[in-house]
Amino acid sequence: MSNASAAASDHRPDYTRQPNNSKLKHIPGKNGWPIIGVLPELRNDVFKLAETRWKEFGPISRVHFGPQPGVLALGPDMAQTLLLDGDRNFSTRMGYDYALRPFYGDNLLCLDFDEHKFQRRIMQTSFKTPSMRSYVEIMNPILERGMDVWVFDDSFRFYESVKNLLLRMTCKVFYGVEEHDEGSDELAQAFVDILDAQEGIIRLDLPGLKYHTGKNGQRFLRDYITKLIPIRRAGDGQDMLSHMCKETKPDGSYFSDEEIVDHASFLLFAAHDTTTSTLNHLMYYLAKHQDWQQRLRDEGAAQHKDYLDYEDLGNVVELDAAFNEAQRLNPSVTVLVRRSIRECELAGHRIPANTMIFQLPMFTNRMSDYWTNPHSFDPERFFPERAEQKGHPFCFMPFGGGAHKCIGMHFAAMQSKLFMHQFLRKYEFRLPDDYKVAFTYIPMPKIKDGLPLVVEKRRA
């Protein structure tokens, strides 16, 4: 194809072809270190980074995230403006394009506005009540078998154990792939390789580089899902891929294989590490706060069931509050990114077109204007009589908001509750003596040493 005809057939909006803006000297702030910008602070103490900025510069400040210049937008008012975006000033696609498109193509976070709205319908059946109910039935026995083979010796690390368990379960619920199916081990490995590659700095598809291993993983994953599409479309499976294969467009046609593969592979990414991270933080807080661990165990015992059913999920209100509280203190997505499409104004500052804008949900989730003793673990703040999350529509934002609000937030809560219910019934757990926790926040928030726990089986 000639250059001219290639350009004519390129229907991308003009703003997606523009480079990022770096002319930000007129905005007060600090870039951070040469090349790495504020990455060290982001990795080790997100809240302190944000709080220092907030006190010195207010809601908007100039910053470098790695080599990338942009602005930091802090607090719930900025979140409301950026995420609701009534004037269509901010592109989600251009916020995530560099990080996500090479691995997940036209996924939901790499689409804007009408195109995004249209594509999001591919997931509508996957998250309706009948589907959610069927996932509960699939997940409960897998969770039980998974935790029953864990060995709780000195080398036990909750993070690795739960990550592997959730990955196997996710392959089944998302794609209908069983552990003994051909290629299932390679599928799990492919996904791990893609995640590793996303962290790599050198992006060259050359043998020996992490990026190459990740791209091989991506090729395997895409090929695997593509081959499953006709099988899932012809079958009566209740997994998410089966639902997506049967979803139709307004003209009655199916979504293309390419579209399905982009969305299905992205789902694994969006769901897996985030829920792993949440469960780690929740387990840490419950190991530390034994009173809450017992409260949740008592609440679960009152259900008189080994497994929670879908209908029971609304009864475990204390577990729900603890899940939210762990999310509030340590949200699983550290940075939300947008890029301005045209010149606009934020908190009185002129933001040029094509400027990267970074938000840190953890700061908003812990602002003392909305939360009492904001750094303490206190799930009762979510009880109806206190309802601190209602202080501002965007003061609690672990799942984002607006058009791109997490489509899997109820799934994540459900999966976490099913896991916690079973684990609390079987085991008691605490932190090792003299344990000192160290958190890290990028690329994914987690506890640095993988969370060693002392776990004992409960007497029947």
Residues of this chain that bind ligand HEM (CB under 6 A)? 92, 108-109, 120, 267, 270-271, 274-275, 278, 331-333, 336, 398-400, 404, 406-408, 411-412
- Nearest-approach distance from CB 400 to ligand HEM, in angstroms: 3
Give least dist CB 316 to ligand HEM, A: 17
d(CA 48, CA 38): 12
What minimum distance in Å lies between the beta carbon of 56 and ligand HEM?
Answer: 26
Q: Which is nearer to ligand HEM, 324 or 354 (CB)?
A: 324
Q: Which residues contact 396 (CB under 8 A, 6 or more apart)?
A: 324, 328, 364, 365, 389
- Considering beta carbons, is residue 170 or 213 the nearer one to ligand HEM? 170
Considering the complex, state which of residue 78 and residue 211 has its C-beta at the smaller distance from ligand HEM: 78
Rounded to a whole number of angstroms, the minimum distance from the CB of residue 327 to ligand HEM is 6
Q: Is 187 exposed, middle or buried (0-12, 13-18, 19+ CB in 10 A)?
A: buried
Q: CB of residue 271 vs ligand HEM: minimum separation in angstroms?
A: 3
Rank residues 213 and 359 by Cβ distance to ligand HEM and give the closer one: 359
The residue (of 273 and 318) whose beta carbon lies closer to ligand HEM is: 273
Minimum distance between the CB of residue 251 and ligand HEM, rounded to whole angstroms? Answer: 22
Residue 416 C-beta: closest distance to ligand HEM, Å: 7
Smallest gap from residue 357 Cβ to ligand HEM (A) = 11
Q: Closest approach of Cβ 109 to ligand HEM, in Å?
A: 5
Q: Which residues contact 182 (CB under 8 A, 6 or more apart)?
A: none
Residue that has been written with the tokens 């997506």 in this structure: 244
Kindly list the distances between the CA atom of residue 240 and the CA atoms of 63, 167, 201, 293, in Å, as whole numbers in the listed order: 39, 15, 32, 33
Cα–Cα distance list, 91 to 23, 83, 88, 121, 380 (Å): 19, 10, 8, 20, 36
* Identity of the residue, 225 or 270, whose beta carbon is nearer to ligand HEM in the bound complex: 270
- How much is the CA Rg of the chain, to the nearest whole Å? 22
- Calpha distance 318→316 (Å, rounded): 6
Nearest to 422 by CA among 380, 458, 454, 378: 458
* String of DSSP letters for 125-174: GGGSHHHHHHHHHHHHHHHHHHHHT---STT-BHHHHHHHHHHHHHHHHH
* CB closer to ligand HEM out of 85 and 318: 85
How does strand 336-340 pair with strand 90-91?
A: antiparallel
Nearest position to ligand HEM, beta carbon = 408
| 3-state secondary structure at position 418 | helix
Q: How far apart are CA 42 and CA 443, in angstroms?
A: 10
Nearer to ligand HEM, 88 or 458 (CB): 88
Phi, psi of 219 (to 5 degrees): -60, -40
Q: Which residues of 274-304 are buried (b: 16+ CB within 10 A; e: fewer)?
A: bbbbbbbbbbbbbbebeebbebbbebbeeee
- 82/351 with CB nearer ligand HEM: 82
